[in-house]
């Protein structure tokens, strides 16, 4: 039985064991049908041309973990930000850990999706939002919709500035079995409210883990969402991360993606504009080596006038690593005065590293400003020599230049603790002991 | 301190230096002059340890030891400093943090502890003052958007911080107006002492009015064709490089 068949069979087993409201059950059965018909994407599909899935779909993953390990604070300490007060929604092998979490229902809901899905008081919100902004044709998303029962549920009422960032962390322990996780996050931010969220998926074992996460974010009128994805997983871990953002008038959604670890990462980041005067910002640093693969697929759908989108992705590829950047910008005929900016700069540190970068602009309006640029290069030899003449050894000099290359993406990080953590991760990844609080 | 004997060097298979002889002792200031393409910058890169320049013949001794196999940073740890003609811009790294990194990496290379933060800060203030650099300048990205004068002052500021034994100043006067040149030259002069040496590489004589050399050498087609005292620079200025070409 291949993975696709196994997943479909697992779905049947799961549905018969759990009862859900009819609306939800319908959404799930439609989703598994989509997945069953489409299967996993193949390299023949334009969107997956440079991102082979053969190895992943040949791995025997199970969606039902036998037994989760009890984690101590010491084991997970490193992956949780401590130097800042935060809400925490933590899962271990897909199961909520109340021990590691700090949630709230005071004036807002920062809690579990499973609670929201099962409790009547949340039914209206779930009906209004769940699976309403996703790409229904995307088979990974459909698979998640079929299975996804747990994740973060964040609902911020109107005119509320959430003082503490929210950390959403999914740990996997995969004791003696290859695990496939399907976390599902739902974030609803009502008008004029602000929230900061940090998301992380972390495997604590050598056993292969495949995480297929879907996050839906709704930013209402004038709302601001500042979202950080820290992707620094174990070398046997793979991640397919699909994020769908619905934006209303005057809203600003920002997503920073830091991709350092993991064997395979595919990011699908979609912004849909539902009104005018919207800002969408997406930034990323990719720093990989060995046989790692990181794929960023972004989509900004400008459907109304006077909106802006800013994309800036920096990639540093060493060893035999592979990078993919595909930035799609759609500007509908109605979306006059759109200002869309896209930049993708890459450095190849070795002859065997590869980057496939493609801007994809579909513009149907005539009065717009759309600019895009991509570069592929090496570290500047003269700059390296310059640093060396100042006593900085080659490895450190390379690290410093790499850091300098990526630095302006960090400038827009608004949580100092996140910035410090990213700096430390970059230094660690580059194998140097330089304090990058430059 | 530096002893160069019959040095031949090439870059990308092309011979640029064709038998240089040069002996620099502690406390001395030497100037190398020459027309464009005579090999001046190559000589500075070879001494500082640029990977692309290969020594094919002759010897390069520093404090009595052959340094031709050492990397540029290892040479820096031994006290060799090169001020660049075109300092490199590094956006995202401030002047202060760059110099802190340079100092501490150098100390690491020398087997010393990191410099305590308060000592570092005091030293930065002192040396910045020497070169009329204000504190705002120190928090800008290294060389990014700097004027020609600012770049060169920043080079000499780094020299002042690192306190090299042998400083090579490659075309430090290029792109400088007279005021900036005076500041830079004063900075260099205040760093001179009996234990260190300076090698000034320049196309024009004017810098040598401010940084007065003990010896002047004329480089032509990768060879030192004439050496003398500071008056040789004036003679060159007056007669032009063609005079040398005809004389040999």
Mean pLDDT of chain B: 92
Q: What is the ipTM of this complex?
A: 0.96
Residue ranges of alpha helices (H) inside A103-214 are 113-118, 123-129, 139-147
Please tell me the pTM assigned to this model.
Answer: 0.90
In angstroms, the separation between the Cα of residue B240 and the nearest Cα of chain A is 32
Report how far residue A338's alpha carbon sits from residue A331's, in angstroms, rounded to the nearest whole number.
Answer: 7
Q: At CB < 8 Å, which residues of chain A contact B?
A: 380-383, 385-394, 396-397, 400-401, 403-408, 434, 437-438
Rounded to 5°, the CA angle A117-A195-A345 comes to: 110
Report how far residue A405's alpha carbon sits from residue B71's, in angstroms, rounded to the nearest whole number.
Answer: 24
Burial bucket for residue A390 (CB in 10 Å: 0-12, 13-18, 19+): buried
pLDDT computed for residue A75 by the predictor:
85
In angstroms, the separation between the Cα of residue B90 and the nearest Cα of chain A is 7
pLDDT computed for residue A167 by the predictor:
97
pLDDT computed for residue B66 by the predictor:
95
Greatest alpha-carbon pair distance for chain A in Å reads 70
Residue A150, token pair as written in the block: 């747990």
Q: Considering CB atoms only, which of B81, B88, B102 is closest to A383?
A: B88
Q: Which of A316, A347, A389 to mutate to test the interface with B (most CBs of B within 10 A)?
A: A389
pLDDT computed for residue A437 by the predictor:
57
Q: Considering CB atoms only, which of B49, B90, B94 is closest to A383?
A: B90
Q: Which residues of A are less than 8 Å from B81 in CB distance?
A: 389-390
Q: Which residue of B has its CA nearest to A393?
A: B73
Q: In 3D, which of A151, A173, A286 has the Cα closest to residue A231?
A: A286
Asked if A389 lies within 8 A of B72 by C-beta distance, the reply is yes
Report how far residue B204's alpha carbon sits from residue B201's, in angstroms, rounded to the nearest whole number.
Answer: 9
Residue B80, token pair as written in the block: 């060799």
pLDDT computed for residue A436 by the predictor:
62
Q: Which of A312, A390, A409 to mutate to test the interface with B (most CBs of B within 10 A)?
A: A390
Asked if A391 lies within 8 A of B77 by C-beta distance, the reply is yes
Q: Which residues of B are less than 8 Å from A434 in CB distance?
A: 101
DSSP three-state, residue A178: coil
pLDDT computed for residue B7 by the predictor:
95
Report how far residue B114's alpha carbon sits from residue B205's, in angstroms, rounded to the nearest whole number.
Answer: 40
In angstroms, the separation between the Cα of residue A269 and the nearest Cα of chain B is 27
Q: What percentage of residues in chain B have a pLDDT greater than 70?
A: 99
Mean pLDDT per 10-residue segment, chain A (438 residues): 89 78 90 95 93 92 78 87 94 92 95 94 95 96 95 97 96 84 97 98 92 98 98 94 98 98 97 98 97 98 98 97 97 97 96 96 96 94 96 94 90 93 90 70
In angstroms, the separation between the Cα of residue A321 and the nearest Cα of chain B is 25
Asked if B92 lies within 8 A of A380 by C-beta distance, the reply is no
DSSP three-state, residue A370: strand
Q: Are A211 and A181 in contact (CB under 8 A)?
A: yes
Q: Which residues of A are less than 8 Å from B88 in CB distance?
A: 380, 382-383, 386
In angstroms, the separation between the Cα of residue B112 and the nearest Cα of chain A is 13
- Tell me the domains of chain B and their CATH numbers: 2-247 (3.40.50.300)
Q: Considering CB atoms only, which of A389, A404, A437 is closest to B90?
A: A404
CB pairs under 8 A between A and B: 84
Q: Are B76 and B165 in contact (CB under 8 A)?
A: no
Q: Which of B44, B93, B113 to mutate to test the interface with A (most CBs of A within 10 A)?
A: B93
Q: Are A207 and A234 in contact (CB under 8 A)?
A: no
Q: How many CB atoms lie within 10 A of CB A418?
A: 22
In angstroms, the separation between the Cα of residue B177 and the nearest Cα of chain A is 24
């Amino acid at each position: 039985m291949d993975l696709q068949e196994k997943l479909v069979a697992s779905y049947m087993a799961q549905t018969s064991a759990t009862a859900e409201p009819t609306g939800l059950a319908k959404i799930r059965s439609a989703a598994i049908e989509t997945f069953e018909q489409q299967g996993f994407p193949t390299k023949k599909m334009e969107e997956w041309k440079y991102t082979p899935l053969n190895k992943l779909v040949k791995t025997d993953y199970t969606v039902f973990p036998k037994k989760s390990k009890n984690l101590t604070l010491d084991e997970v300490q490193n992956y949780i930000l401590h130097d800042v007060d935060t809400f925490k929604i933590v899962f271990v092998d897909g199961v909520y850990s109340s021990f590691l979490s700090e949630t709230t229902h005071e004036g807002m809901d920062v809690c579990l999706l499973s609670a929201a899905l099962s409790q009547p008081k949340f039914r209206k919100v779930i009906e209004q939002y769940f699976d309403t902004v996703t790409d229904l044709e995307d088979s990974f998303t459909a698979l998640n919709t079929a299975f996804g029962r747990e994740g973060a549920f964040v609902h911020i009422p109107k005119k509320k500035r959430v003082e503490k960032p929210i950390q959403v962390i999914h740990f996997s322990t995969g004791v003696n079995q290859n695990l496939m996780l399907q976390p599902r996050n739902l974030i609803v931010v009502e008008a004029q409210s602000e929230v900061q969220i940090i998301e992380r998926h972390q495997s604590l074992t050598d056993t292969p883990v495949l995480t297929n996460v879907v996050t839906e974010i709704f930013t209402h009128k004038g709302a601001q969402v500042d979202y950080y994805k820290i992707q620094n997983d174990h070398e046997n871990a793979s991640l397919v991360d699909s994020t769908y953002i619905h934006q209303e008038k005057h809203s600003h959604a920002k997503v920073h993606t830091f991709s350092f670890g993991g064997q395979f990462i595919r990011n699908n980041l979609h912004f849909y504009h539902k009104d005018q005067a919207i800002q969408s910002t997406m930034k990323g640093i990719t720093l990989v080596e060995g046989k790692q693969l990181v794929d960023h697929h972004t989509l900004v759908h400008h459907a109304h006038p006077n909106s802006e989108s800013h994309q800036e992705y920096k990639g540093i590829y060493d060893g035999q690593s592979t990078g993919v950047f595909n930035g799609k910008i759609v500007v509908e005929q109605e979306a006059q005065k759109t200002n869309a900016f896209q930049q993708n700069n890459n450095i190849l540190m070795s002859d065997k590293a590869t980057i496939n970068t493609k801007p994809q602009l579909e513009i149907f309006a005539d009065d717009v400003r759309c600019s895009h640029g991509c570069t592929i290069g090496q570290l500047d030899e003269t700059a390296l020599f310059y640093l060396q003449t100042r006593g900085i050894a080659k490895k450190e000099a390379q690290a410093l230049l790499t850091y300098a290359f990526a630095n302006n993406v960090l400038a827009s990080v608004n949580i100092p603790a996140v910035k410090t953590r990213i700096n430390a991760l970059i230094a660690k990844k580059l194998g140097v002991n330089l304090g990058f609080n430059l | 301190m530096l002893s160069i004997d019959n040095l031949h060097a090439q870059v990308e298979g092309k011979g640029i230096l064709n038998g240089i002889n040069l002996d620099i002792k502690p406390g001395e200031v030497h100037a190398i002059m020459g027309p464009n393409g005579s090999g001046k910058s190559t000589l500075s890169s070879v001494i500082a340890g640029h990977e692309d320049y290969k020594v094919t013949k002759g010897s390069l001794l520093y404090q009595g030891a052959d340094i031709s196999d050492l990397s540029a940073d290892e040479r820096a740890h031994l006290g060799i400093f090169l001020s660049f003609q075109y300092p490199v811009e590094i956006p995202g790294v401030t002047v202060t943090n760059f110099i802190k990194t340079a100092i501490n990496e150098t100390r690491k290379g020398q087997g010393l502890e990191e410099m305590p933060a308060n000592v570092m800060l005091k030293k930065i203030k002192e040396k910045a003052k020497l070169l009329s650099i204000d504190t705002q300048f120190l928090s800008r990205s290294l060389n990014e958007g700097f004027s020609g004068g600012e770049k060169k002052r920043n080079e000499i500021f780094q020299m002042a911080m690192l306190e090299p034994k042998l400083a090579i100043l490659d075309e430090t006067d290029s792109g400088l107006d007279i005021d900036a040149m005076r500041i830079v030259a004063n900075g260099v002069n205040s760093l001179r002492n009996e234990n260190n040496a300076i090698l000034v590489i320049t196309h024009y004589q004017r810098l040598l009015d401010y940084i007065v050399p003990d010896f002047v050498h004329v480089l032509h087609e990768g060879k030192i064709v004439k050496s003398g005292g500071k008056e040789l620079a004036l003679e060159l200025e007056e007669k032009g490089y063609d005079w040398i070409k005809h004389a040999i």
